[in-house]
């Protein structure tokens, strides 16, 4: 009787291996089994063939697998960035809620699209087998894949870990999410990884099909290389002068781009800018970085002392176009550096990698080794090839030392040093690893290659610049809020109040009060009927502004205290008529506090108008900063920014015989950090030259404009 192998093992061998099964392998296994082999042996062989088949199948697209893992590792950082741009608020109506959802989807798809473009750029260094049709289908497939995969991941997480992971949004930062390897961050990476892998699987050329011809030169290429016009003709400039001047021009372009970035690429003045404003600035700043770097190259290339002015070893505009793919990263690097962010080094390394890869292709014919002459056995010495000594290459040592030094610089918060070292190591690594098939290429193909490289790097550069602007605005607001001494509304509670109980009433032994509380002058008592307590201010449908007359106290104290002491001197008066100064060298802080008595929802407020009276005749800026506070959570405040009084500016300053009325308008963002507030805190900040005196400015009233 003819023996048959196990049906499941045979089915696995026939249908479980990707690709076409080798008939010879299957025939040998069946023949050996019928000749007396055991079923266990057949199972082992079938499983081994299955495992080897899948390993070969995945190894054909190993570059896509590695890139998908690395790119999806950035997903938690991008998700934290998206949450800052598009923060969900359940009180928002259907229309704004739909727009928020569309913005969320667009930002996440942009992240996946940027990864696909970057992968195409990197993989094109290995093969040019990409099909435009398959790439188009891959990009169209992404929106159809991402949302179902993200929703399925969300459902599975809630099934196994209901109600999901608890996330503290207050401490969630993109840089912290970047290095987060906990379960929540790993689960968040899954939909991005699967979307990128699924969409690009068929569009990615198989590495196994080109591995045999990757380093071989086709006969047609060898024959056409001599007839094709070379882009880099040989000149009489010696190699040392050539290399020195090329690196000098690159340095001047980088320096010029940095100067343009530091001078022109600034954060917006608004404390809550719109997404459109930041996106427009990101595009403009990327253009400024490219133009600044190209202008620096052009000035020194055309300089009378330049050896390239008359006879250039390569076209100027090809060199400038190649370097522009690195200069577009300079604005994001500059803005992140002002925040003391470690991302400065990452962006510098990215620009250096693109610069090295581009220059390696553009200058291939300049630095190509001379062609070897035909080998003559009689003219050569015996064992010449055996005695050949490989040249010493120190690039590997420089890369390793630069990486170690860059890590130490990041640990010590030396971001500029870390950026320089990371860029150096990335440049050397990319220069050595970029493979040149044919150093003698025509000008048209090199221009096309440089333009494609710049186009593919443009979208990621704009996204990173947009990210840097968003982080920069948030970082500036946090610094200003910290500099404004984090208001504590209740002066009789907290550690500061406990410490102040033992402090004498004088400062540094000189007669004077340590802190002062100035209450408004009491009006004459009038008999008025009781007013019903408002239950819901600014209810839906309200169009008139809510006017609140200021009747709270003014606080005067000095750092490091954050509130007046328990034994603070209390008096009645108006800041317009009293002179309060310090008798030491510590700055004076002035605050005005207004308690509302009822909770006002932030979602119903569009703008807060602060009406003030300015009677200060001391020259110097006077800035007004505003906080909204929920008494139930006094540490969680909404900072609305600061503005300068117009009458205190030098071009509008006059001696005031009577107080001047001014109105300042502060936009209230939504969604915000708090949902409701019942206290308003105003800080009056004089110019640094007037640190020792309180400004003669009084708060008249507040007007809350409904949304």
| Spatial distance between the Cα atoms of 151 and 99, rounded to a whole number of angstroms | 19
Give the rounded percent of residues in the chain with a pLDDT score beyond 90.
8
| Sheet of 633-644, strand order | 569-572, 516-519, 554-557, 589-601, 676-686, 622-630, 633-644
Does residue 663 lie in a domain region? Answer: yes
pLDDT number for residue 238:
63
The confidence score (pLDDT) of residue 88 equals 46
Question: Is the pLDDT reported for residue 682 higher than 90?
Answer: yes
State pLDDT tens for residues 241-298: 677 777 888 888 888 888 888 888 888 877 778 888 888 889 999 999 899 888 888 8
Question: How far is the C-alpha of 169 from the C-alpha of 182, rounded, in Å?
Answer: 16
Inter-residue contact 361 to 435 (CB < 8 Å): no
Q: How many CA atoms lie within 13 A of 518 on its CB side?
A: 21
Least confident segment among 304-318, 465-479, 655-669, 691-705: 304-318
CB half-sphere exposure, 659, CA atoms < 13 A = 16
Write the pLDDT tens digit of every residue in 606-655. 899 999 999 998 888 899 999 999 888 877 788 888 899 988 888 888 88
Is residue 54 assigned to a domain? yes
Between 242 and 556, the higher pLDDT residue: 556
Please answer whether residues 706 and 606 qualify as being in contact, where contact means their C-beta atoms are separated by less than 8 angstroms. Answer: yes
DSSP string computed for 71-133: HHTTHHHHHHHHHHHS---TTS-HHHHHHHHHHHHHHHHHHHHHHHHHHHHHHTTT-----HH
Same domain, 108 and 19: no
In whole angstroms, give the CA distance from residue 422 to residue 103.
Answer: 34
308 versus 421: which is more confidently predicted?
Answer: 421
Residue 592 has pLDDT above 90, yes or no: yes
Residue finishing a domain among 200, 220, 249: 200
Residue 382 lies in a domain: no
pLDDT tens per residue, range 44-101: 888 888 887 777 777 777 888 888 888 888 888 888 777 766 554 444 445 566 777 7
CA distances to 290, 374, 416, 484, 626 from 336, in Å: 18, 55, 11, 23, 27
Contact 181, 121 (CB under 8 A): no
CA-nearest of 325, 333, 357 to 459 is 325
Q: What is the dihedral sign for C-alpha 33, 34, 36, 38? A: positive
Q: CB neighbours (10 Å) of residue 390?
A: 5
**pLDDT value at residue 199:** 87
In terms of domains, do 22 and 89 share one?
A: no
Q: pLDDT value at position 620?
A: 86
Is residue 517 very low, low, confident or very high in pLDDT (cuts 50, 70, 90)?
confident
- Phi then psi for 312, rounded to 5 degrees? -90, 135
CATH number at residue 618: 2.60.120
- CA-CA distances (angstroms) from residue 590 to 207, 489, 491, 562, 580? 69, 13, 14, 11, 10
**Residue 500 above 50 pLDDT?**
no
Same-domain pairing of 347 and 405: yes
Taking phi first (over 0 means left), then psi (-120 to 50 degrees means alpha), and beta for anything else, what does residue 253 get?
Answer: alpha
Is the predicted pLDDT of residue 473 greater than 90, yes or no?
no
Tell me the CA distances in angstroms from 539 to 544, 604, 629, 678, one per residue in order: 11, 8, 20, 15
Q: Is the pLDDT of residue 120 over 90?
A: no
Domain boundary, last residue among 31, 59, 87: 59
| Adjacent-strand bridge partners of 624 | 643, 684
Residues 182 and 248 in one domain: no
Of 182, 200, 218, the one marking the end of a domain is 200
Q: Is 43 inside a domain boundary?
A: yes
Beta bridge partners of 490: none
* Alpha-carbon span 636 to 169, nearest angstrom: 12
Q: Are strands 605-614 and 660-667 parallel, antiparallel or unpaired?
A: antiparallel
- CB 586: neighbour CB atoms within 10 A? 15
CA dist 530 → 525, 526, 533, 650 (Å): 14, 12, 9, 48
Task: Report the C-alpha gap between 564 and 580 in whole angstroms.
Answer: 14
- What pLDDT does residue 162 have? 54
Query: pLDDT at residue 362 above 50?
Result: yes
Would the pLDDT of 567 be above 60? yes
Residue for token pair 């690196």 = 247
* One domain for residues 684 and 636: yes
- Same-domain status, 55 and 70: no
- Please check the confidence at residue 206 and state whether its pLDDT lies above 80: no
Rounded distance, CA 452 to CA 619, Å?
56
Whole-number Å distance between alpha carbons of 132 and 120? 11
**Does the model's pTM come out above 0.85?**
no
State yes or no: pLDDT of 474 exceeds 90: no
- Does some domain include residue 375? no
Domain residues for the domain of 36 are 7-59
**Statement to judge: residues 466 and 403 lie in one domain:** yes
pLDDT at 218 over 70: no
- What band does 703 get if pLDDT is binned at 50, 70 and 90? very high
Question: How far, in Å, CA of 564 to CA of 554, rounded?
Answer: 10
- Band (pLDDT 50/70/90 cuts) for residue 217 is very low
Which pLDDT value is given to residue 176? 62
Query: pLDDT category, 664, cuts 50, 70, 90?
Result: very high
> Are 329 and 463 members of one domain?
yes
Residue 22's pLDDT is 58
Q: Would you state the pLDDT for residue 97?
A: 64
How would you write 271-310 as a 3-class SS string?
Answer: CCCCHHHHHHHHHHHHHHHHHHHHHHHHHHHCCCCCCCCC
pLDDT of residue 19: 62
Strands (E), 604-672: 605-614, 622-630, 633-644, 660-667
User: What's phi and psi for 349, nearest 5 deg?
Assistant: -65, -35
pLDDT digits 0-9 by tens, 526-537: 554 544 445 456
The residues, any chain, with a CB within 8 Å of residue 615's CB and separated by 6 or more, are 576, 577, 656, 658, 659, 660, 696, 697, 698
CA dist., res. 704 & res. 353, Å (int): 52
Residues 6 or more apart whose Cβ sits within 8 Å of residue 316: 297, 298, 301, 302, 308
pLDDT (0 to 100) of residue 661: 92
**665: which 2 tokens?**
């308008």
376 belongs to a structural domain: no
Q: Look at residue 688 in the predicted model and tell me its pLDDT.
A: 78
CA distance 294 to 304: 18
Mean pLDDT of the chain, nearest integer: 76
d(CA 297, CA 705): 53
Whether 208 is in a domain gets the answer no
Phi then psi for residue 425, to 5 deg, are -65, -40
609 beta partners = 665, 703
Classify residue 556 as left (phi > 0), alpha (psi -120 to 50) or beta: beta
- Do 144 and 29 belong together in one domain? no
CB-CB contact of 330 with 255 (8 Å) = no
* Same domain flag for 541 and 469: no
The number of domains in the chain is 4
How many whole angstroms separate alpha carbon 460 and alpha carbon 117? 9
Q: Which of 19-28, 451-460, 488-497 has the highest mean pLDDT?
A: 451-460
Instruction: Examine the pLDDT at 663 and tell me if it is beyond 90.
Output: yes
DSSP 470-496: HHHHHHHHHHHHHHTT---S-TTSSHH
pLDDT over threshold 60, residue 313: yes
Residues 181 and 264 grouped into a single domain: no
- Does residue 529 fall inside a structural domain? no
Displacement of CA 6 from its chain's centroid (Å): 57
- Are 68 and 108 in a shared domain? yes
Give the tokens for residue 144.
């159809």
pLDDT for 484 equals: 58
Alpha helices (H) along 373-414: 395-411
- Paired residues of 683 in beta bridges: 591, 625
Contact 675, 87 (CB under 8 A): no
């Amino acid at each position: 009787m003819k023996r048959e192998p196990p049906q499941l093992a045979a089915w696995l061998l026939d249908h479980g291996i990707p690709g076409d099964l080798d008939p010879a392998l299957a025939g040998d296994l069946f023949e050996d089994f019928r000749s007396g082999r055991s079923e266990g042996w057949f199972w082992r062989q079938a499983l081994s063939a299955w495992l080897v088949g899948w390993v070969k199948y995945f190894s054909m697209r190993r570059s896509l697998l590695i890139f998908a893992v690395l790119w999806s590792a950035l997903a938690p950082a991008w998700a934290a960035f998206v949450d800052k741009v598009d923060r969900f608020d359940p009180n928002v109506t259907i229309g704004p809620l739909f727009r928020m959802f569309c913005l969320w989807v667009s930002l996440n798809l942009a992240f996946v699209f940027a990864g696909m473009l970057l992968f195409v750029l990197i993989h094109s260094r290995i093969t040019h087998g990409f099909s435009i049709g398959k790439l188009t289908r891959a990009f169209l497939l992404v929106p159809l894949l991402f949302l179902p995969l993200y929703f399925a991941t969300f459902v599975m997480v809630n099934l196994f870990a209901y109600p999901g992971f608890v996330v503290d949004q207050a401490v969630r930062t993109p840089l912290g999410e970047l290095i987060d390897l906990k379960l929540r961050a790993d689960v968040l990476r899954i939909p991005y990884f699967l979307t990128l892998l699924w969409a690009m699987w068929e569009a990615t050329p198989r590495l196994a099909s080109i591995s045999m011809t990757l380093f071989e030169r086709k006969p047609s290429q060898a024959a056409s290389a001599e007839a094709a016009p070379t882009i880099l003709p040989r000149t009489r400039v010696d190699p040392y002068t050539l290399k020195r001047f090329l690196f000098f021009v690159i340095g001047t372009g980088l320096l010029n781009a940095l100067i343009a970035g530091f001078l022109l690429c600034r954060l917006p003045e608004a404390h809550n800018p719109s997404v459109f404003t930041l996106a427009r600035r990101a595009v403009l700043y990327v253009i400024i970085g490219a133009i600044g770097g190209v202008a620096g190259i052009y000035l020194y290339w055309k300089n009378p002392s330049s050896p390239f002015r008359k006879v250039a070893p390569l076209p100027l505009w090809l060199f400038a176009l190649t370097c522009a793919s690195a200069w577009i990263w300079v604005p994001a690097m500059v803005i992140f550096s002002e925040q003391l962010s470690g991302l400065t080094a990452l962006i510098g390394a990215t620009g250096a990698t693109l610069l090295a890869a581009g220059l390696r292709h553009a200058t291939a014919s300049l630095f190509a080794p001379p062609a070897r002459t035909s080998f003559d056995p009689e003219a050569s010495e015996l064992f010449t090839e055996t005695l050949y000594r490989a040249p010493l290459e120190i690039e590997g040592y420089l890369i390793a030392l630069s990486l170690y030094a860059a890590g130490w610089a990041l640990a010590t918060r030396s971001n500029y040093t870390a950026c320089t070292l990371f860029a150096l190591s990335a440049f050397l690594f990319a220069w050595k690893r970029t493979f040149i098939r044919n150093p003698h290429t025509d000008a048209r193909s090199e221009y096309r290659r440089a333009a494609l490289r710049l186009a593919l790097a443009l979208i990621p550069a704009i996204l990173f610049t947009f990210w840097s602007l968003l982080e920069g605005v948030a970082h500036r607001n946090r610094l200003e809020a910290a500099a404004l001494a984090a208001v504590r509304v209740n002066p009789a509670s907290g550690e500061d109040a406990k410490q102040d109980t033992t402090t004498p009433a004088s400062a540094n032994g000189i007669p004077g009060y340590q802190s002062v509380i100035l209450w408004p002058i009491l009006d004459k008592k009038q008999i008025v009927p009781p007013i019903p307590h408002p239950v819901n201010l600014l209810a839906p449908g309200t169009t008139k502004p809510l006017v609140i007359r200021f009747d709270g106290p003014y606080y005067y104290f000095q750092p490091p205290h954050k509130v007046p002491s328990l034994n603070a001197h209390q008096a009645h008066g108006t800041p317009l008529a009293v002179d309060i100064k310090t008798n030491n060298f510590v700055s004076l802080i002035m605050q005005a506090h207004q308690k509302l008595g009822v909770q006002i929802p932030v979602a119903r407020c569009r703008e807060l108008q602060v009406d003030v009276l300015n009677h200060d005749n001391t020259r110097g800026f006077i800035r007004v900063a505003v906080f909204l506070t929920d008494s139930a959570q006094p540490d969680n405040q909404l900072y609305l920014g600061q503005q300068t009084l117009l009458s205190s500016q030098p071009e509008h300053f006059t001696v005031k015989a009577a107080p001047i009325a001014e109105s300042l308008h502060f936009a209230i963002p939504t969604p915000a950090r708090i949902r409701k507030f019942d206290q308003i805190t105003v800080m009056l900040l004089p110019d640094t030259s007037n640190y020792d005196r309180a400004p003669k400015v009084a708060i008249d009233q507040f007007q809350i404009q409904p949304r």
